[in-house]
Structure 1
Amino acid sequence: MRRLWPLTARGTGAAVLAVACFVVANEVGIVELMYFGLLLVAVLAASILSLYLTRRSDTVTRSLSPDVAAVGRESLVTVRVGVRTALPTAPGTWRDTIPRGLAAQARGVFPALGSGLRGAERVVQFSYVVTGERRGIHPLGPLQVTTSDPFGLARRTTVFGERTPVTVAPAVTDLPALSDFAGEAGGTLHTTNNQLGQGADNLIARPYAPGDSMRRIHWRATAHRDELMVRQEEQESTPEATVVIDRGVLRFSPEAMQAPGADAGFEAAVSACVSVVTRLVHDGYAVEVIDSDGTPLAERIDGGDMSEVEGLVNSFAGLTARRDDHLGKLPRVFAGMMTGPVVLIVGRFDPADADTVAPVVHHSTLPLLLAVAPVGDALERAADRGWHAAAVDPDGDLAVAWSSAAQRGISHVLR
C-alpha cells in the first residue's frame, strides 16, 4: 500500500519540533529558535526533494523454478530489478505482492545504489520461495520498493506495476500401481499377447504354409517336430485406459464453475483425475481423458510418455465445472466397444446415478469409481452393479481411496 505521509517517525518528530520552535519563538521572543525551526524545515524539504526529484528507471522481471507451481509444492521465484538512478540511493526494503492463490514471505532489504549517470543499468536480484495454495493462474506483483534519504527523515514507496502470471497446477498424489493385474488391467508391464502357441523371445513356431518365406523357417522346431516349421511373431497389444471426470456443476457447487480452486470438492476431483492419469501412464497404459459426455479433455497419452502427462497437469490449472449434467450419456460413450480400465470420477453421486452408469461395467476390464460426495448407499449399489467404488475425501488421502477400489478390483478381474 502506498504511504501518503512521506515522513518517517524521525522526520515526523523533526517536523513537530520545528513547529514547536516556531510557537515558542513567537511566544517567548527567542529568535534563535526561529532559525532552528527554519533549519529543520529546510532539512526536511531537502530530504523529500532528494527522493522525489531523483530520476530513475526500473524494470522488473520474474522467473520461477520450476516454471509451473503446484498446489502444496514450493517454487523458487527469482526477481530481477534493473535500476538507473541519477543520484546515489540509500538502502531500503522491497515487498512483492502475493495473490490469494499463493503463499510466501516476499520481503527483504533493497541494497543502496551509487550514481548511474555514467554507467549502465544496474541489476538487483533477490529470490524467495512461494507455495501454491489454490489452483489457477494468479498474477504475482506488483513490486513495492521503499527507500529513505540519508538522514532517515523521509521515505518514498515506488510501485512497479509489472505482474507475472503464475500457473498453479493441481496437486498430483503418488498412487500405488495396479501391479496385481494381468493383461489389459496391468499396463504394458504385463502386456497382453495374442499368440497361437508357446515360444520365447516373442517368437513361436507354426507349421509351414504355402507362401511363407523360407527365411522364416524355424530349424530347431523343424528338427524337433519332424515337419517344416516357421517363426511367427507374437502380436503384442498396448493396453488402453479411460479416465472420465464428470464436470457437471450440479454435482459440486456453483463456485466450481466461477474460478479454479473455488470449490474443495471439485479440486479433489481434478486432483484425483491427474493423479490417476499419472499412475496409469507410468504403468504403460495409453490413456484417454474425457468428460462424461465423451468430450476429450486432452490428447491421447501413450504409455510411458510422462512429458505429455506434465502438459496435461499444467493444462488442468484452468479447468472449471460446466453447467450441463451429462453423466447419463456415459453409457452411450462406451456402447459397442471393449476397453481396459475405466476410471470414473464424480462429485455428488446418488443411488440413481449408480443405475445410470451400470452399463459401462460390461465394457471395461476394470471399472473403477471415485466419488467425492456419495449419497446414501450409492457406492454399495454401484458395487452391486460391478463397479469397484470408493469415496474421495477432499481432506483425506487419495492413495487410500485408490488402493481400496483397486483391491476390490482384484477379485473382479480374477473371477
Structure 2
Amino acid sequence: MRRVWPLTVRGTGALVLAIACFVLANELGLVELLYFGILLLATLAASIVSLYVTRRTESVGRSLSPDVATVGRPSTVTVRVGVRTAVPTAAGLWRDAVPAGLTGVAHGVFPALGSGLRGDERAVELRYTITGARRGVHPLGPLSVTSTDPFGLARRSNVLGVRTQVTVTPAIVDLPVLANFSGESGGTLHTTTNQIGQGSDNLIARPYAPGDSMRRIHWRATAHRDALMVRQEEQESTPEATVVLDRAAERWSAEALRTTGLDAGFEAAVSSCISVVSRLVTDGYVVELIDSDGTALADPIDGGDLGGVEAVATHLATITARRGDTLAKLPLLFAGAMTGPVVVVTGRFDPADAEALAPLVHHSALPIVLAAAPTGDALDRATDLGWRAAPIGADADLVAAWSGAADQGVSNVVA
C-alpha cells in the first residue's frame, strides 16, 4: 500500500519543531529561531528530493526453485532487482505480496547501496521461502520497497507492479508398491527383474555400441556373427494401466466447477489421482489418464518416465470439474478388451454406481475404486462385485486407503 505522508516520525517531529520556531521567532523577536526553522525545512526538502534522485529501479524478476510449486512442499523464491544509483543510499525495507494460495514470510531489509558514479545497473537478490497451500495458478507480487534518507527524516514507498504467475501442482503422496501383484498385474520393472538369470531364452543379442559394458558381451553370438555382440534382456510385453478421474460436477460441490482449491474432496481426488499415476509409472506401467467419458487428460506416460509424471501434475494444477455424469458408461470403454490395473477416482459414489461399474471388473487385472464421498454401503457393494474399494477425502490417509484397497480379496480376471 502506497504511503501518502512522506515523513517518518523523526521527520514529522522536525516539521513540528520548524513551525514552532517560526511562531516563537515572531512572538519573541528572535531572528535566530527563524533561521533555525528555515534550516529544518530545507533539510526536510532535501531529504525528500534525495529519495527520488538517488535510486531508480530498472527491472524486477522472480525465479522459483523448483520451477513449479507443489501443495505442502516449500519452494525458494529469488527476486532479482536491478537498481541504478548515483550516490550512496541507506538500507530500507522490502515486502513481496503473497497471495492466498501460497504461504510464506516475504519481507526483509533492502540492503544499502554504495555510489555508482558510472551509472551501471547493480543487481540486488532477495530470497524467501513459500509453500503451496492451494492448487492452481496464483500471482506472486508486486514487490514494494520502502526507503529512507540517510537522516531518517523522509521515506518513499515504491510499488513495483510486476507479478509472477506461480503454478501450484497437487500434492504427490508416495504410495507403497503393489508387490503382491507382480505376477498378475506387475509392470515392466517386475517383468525385467523376473527375467534376469533365467537363461538365454529371455535374452537377445544386439551389436555392440560405445559405452556398453564389456561384461555384457554375448560370446556365442559374437563367434557366430563374427562381430561384437552384447546381451540385452528381452521385454516380452509392455503392461498398461488406466487411471480414471471422474470430473462430473454432479459428484462434487459447486466450487469444484468454478475454480481450483476450494472443494476439499475434489482436491483430495486430484492428489490421489497424480499419486496413483506416479506409483504405477514408477512400477513400470504405461499409464493412461482419462476422464470418465473417455477423454484423455494427458498423453500416455511410459513406465519409469518421472518427467512425464511432473508434466501431468502441472496439467492437473488447473483442472476443474465439468458438467455431465458419464461414470455409468465407463465399462463401455473397455468392452472386448483386457487391460492391467484400472483405478477409478470419484467423488459421490452410491450402490447404483457400484452396480453400473460391475462389468468393468472382468476386463481389469486389478480394479480399484477410490471415492471421496461414498454413500451408504456403496464401497461394500463394490467389493462384493469384485472391486478393491476404499474411501479418500480431505482428512483420509491416502497411503492407508491405497494399501487397504490393494489388500482386499483377489483380482477378478476372467480369461
Shared fold (TM-score, shorter chain, > 0.5): yes
Q: Is the 8 A contact 1:66 1:76 kept in 2?
A: yes
Cα distance in 1 for partners of 2:335, 2:53 equals 75
CA contact (8 A) 1:328 1:357 kept: yes
Matched with 2:246 is 246
Q: C-alpha offsets along residues 103-127 of structure 1, whole Å, 9 cap, x if unaligned?
A: 1111111111233341421111121
- Identity across the alignment (%): 66
SS of equivalent residue, structure 1 residue 182: helix
* Change in 2 beyond 3 A, CA 1:68/1:166: same
CA contact (8 A) 1:184 1:192 kept: no
Q: Deviations over 1:77-134 (max 9, x none)?
A: 1111111123321111111111111111111111112333414211111211111111
Equivalent residue runs for 1:16-415 within 5 Å = 16-54=16-54, 56-191=56-191, 200-203=199-202, 236-410=236-410
Counterpart residue number, 2:228: none
Specify every segment of 5 or more residues in structure 2 that has no aligned partner in the other structure, as ranges.
204-219, 222-232
Decide whether aligned partners of structure 1 residues 139 and 35 sit closer, same or farther in structure 2, where only a CA change above 3 A counts: same
- Secondary structure of residue in 2 paired with 1:237: coil
Output one character per residue of 1:319-353: Cα deviation in whole Å (capped at 9) or x when no partner: 11112222122121111211111000001111221
Instruction: State the partner residue of 1:208.
Output: none
After TM superposition, the score normalised by the length of structure 1 is 0.87
In terms of mean alpha carbon deviation, does 268-277 or 28-37 score higher? 28-37
Contact 2:191-2:235 at 8 Å conserved across structures: no
Letter in 2 for 1:50: S
**Does structure 1 conserve the Cα–Cα contact (< 8 Å) formed by 2:68 and 2:168?**
yes
Residue 192 of structure 1: how far off its partner (Å): 9.8
Tell me the TM-score normalized by structure 2: 0.87
Task: Check whether the contact 1:298–1:312 (CA below 8 A) recurs between aligned residues.
Answer: yes
Query: Are the aligned partners of 2:362 and 2:413 in contact in 1 as well (CA < 8 Å)?
Result: no
Displacement, 1:2?
Answer: 1.1
Q: Distance in 2 between matches of 1:250 and 1:18?
A: 70
Note the residue ranges of structure 1 that are not aligned, 5 or more in a row. Answer: 205-214, 217-232
Q: Secondary structure at the match of 1:90?
A: coil
What is the deviation of 1:400? 0.5
- 8 Å CA contact 1:83–1:122 kept in 2: the answer is yes
Aligned mates of 2:158, 2:190 — CA distance in 1: 62
Deviation at 1:361, TM superposition (A): 1.0
Cα root mean square deviation, aligned = 2.4
Query: Matches of 2:404 and 2:4 in 1, distance apart?
Result: 60
Q: Which amino acid aligns with 2:199?
A: A
Post-superposition offset of 1:182 = 3.5
Question: Aligned partners of 1:192, 1:377: CA distance in 2, in Å?
Answer: 41
Return closer, same or farther for 1:38/1:313 CA change in 2, 3 Å cut-off.
same
Distance in 2, matches of 1:151 and 1:366, equals 73
Q: Give the C-alpha shift of residue 203 in structure 1.
A: 4.8
Q: What residue in structure 2 maps to residue 211 of structure 1? A: none
1:255 positional shift? 1.1
Give the secondary-structure state (helix, strand or coil) at the position aligned to 1:382.
Answer: helix
How far did 1:410 drift? Answer: 4.1
Alpha-carbon distance in 1 for matches of 2:301, 2:413: 24
**Contact in 1 for aligned 2:57/2:83 (Cα 8 Å):** yes
